[in-house]
């Protein structure tokens, strides 16, 4: 693969060309199964405030998105950056591009200020990728709003991972997680 560049773009600053590039990236992976990518509610998940995009010749070959939210864990309010839309184009995988995008996402979350932890949920088979990026698994029940707008209550055991920003990993509170909205 040719050399890539990584750009960081606030959601409201995405140009129509950049939206088109992201649409192509996501549709090439998910359109058959989930239909068209929609930037405001991608596949029914929460949208992103910030997009970290890997480009080759202006073409998007990778993406990580995140959004700030105050959630409740046990009895405490925790400020998180919810991460989603983590995708590397098929032909560009296995070359540490995902790792590089996650590292840039972590840097931008920290630079934003006032965010306690990065937060994400994923499939069991990609946990080793996020672990390689320095994320730590937590075991807790999670409540959220599902992709169709329904209430979802997941028992403990689903892959949930956090990344320390303003707070150290050990200070993640005990108890059930209420995302107070859709997951990313």
Ligand X SMILES: CC(C)(COP(=O)(O)OP(=O)(O)OC[C@H]1O[C@@H](n2cnc3c(N)ncnc32)[C@H](O)[C@@H]1OP(=O)(O)O)[C@@H](O)C(=O)NCCC(=O)NCCS
Nearest residue to ligand X, by Cβ distance, number only = 98
Chain center to CA of 54: 15
| 34 is an interface residue for ligand X by CB under 6 A | no
Tracing tokens 């949920």 back to the chain, one arrives at: 121
| 31 is an interface residue for ligand X by CB under 6 A | no
Q: In the complex with ligand X, which residue's Cβ is closer, 173 or 181?
A: 181
Only segment of 3-11, 47-55, 94-102, 141-149 that touches ligand X (CB under 6 A): 94-102
Half-sphere exposure of 184 (CA within 13 A, CB side): 25
Only segment of 11-19, 33-41, 120-128, 135-143 that touches ligand X (CB under 6 A): 120-128
- Longest CA span, the chain: 49
Pairing of strands 117-121, 76-88: parallel
Q: What is the CA radius of gyration of the chain?
A: 16
| 126 is an interface residue for ligand X by CB under 6 A | yes
β-sheet bridge partners, residue 20: none
| 122 is an interface residue for ligand X by CB under 6 A | yes
Q: In the complex with ligand X, which residue's Cβ is closer, 93 or 143?
A: 93
| 87 is an interface residue for ligand X by CB under 6 A | yes
Smallest separation (angstroms) from ligand X to the CB of 125:
6
From the number of C-beta atoms within 10 Å of its C-beta (0-12, 13-18, 19+), residue 120 rates as: buried
Please tell me the distance from the alpha carbon of residue 169 to that of residue 137, in angstroms, as a whole number: 10
Please tell me the count of residues contacting ligand X according to CB under 6 A.
17
- List of residues contacting ligand X (CB under 6 A): 86-88, 93-99, 122-123, 125-126, 128-129, 132
């Amino acid at each position: 693969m040719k050399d890539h560049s990584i750009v960081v773009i606030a959601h409201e600053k995405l140009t129509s060309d950049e939206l088109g590039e992201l649409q192509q990236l996501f549709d090439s992976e998910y359109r058959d199964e989930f239909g068209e990518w929609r930037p405001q509610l991608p596949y029914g998940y929460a949208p992103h405030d910030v997009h970290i995009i890997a480009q080759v010749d202006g073409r998007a070959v990778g993406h990580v998105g995140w959004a700030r939210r105050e959630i409740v864990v046990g009895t405490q309010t925790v400020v998180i950056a919810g991460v989603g839309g983590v995708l590397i184009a098929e032909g560009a995988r296995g070359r540490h591009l995902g790792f590089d995008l996650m590292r840039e996402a972590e840097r931008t979350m920290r630079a934003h200020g006032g965010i306690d932890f990065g937060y994400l949920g994923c499939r069991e088979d990609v946990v080793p990728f996020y672990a390689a990026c320095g994320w730590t698994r937590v075991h807790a029940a999670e409540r959220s709003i599902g992709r169709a707008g329904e209430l979802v209550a997941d028992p403990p055991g689903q892959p949930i991972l956090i990344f320390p920003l303003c707070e150290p990993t050990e200070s993640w509170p005990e108890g059930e997680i209420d995302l107070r909205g859709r997951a990313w």
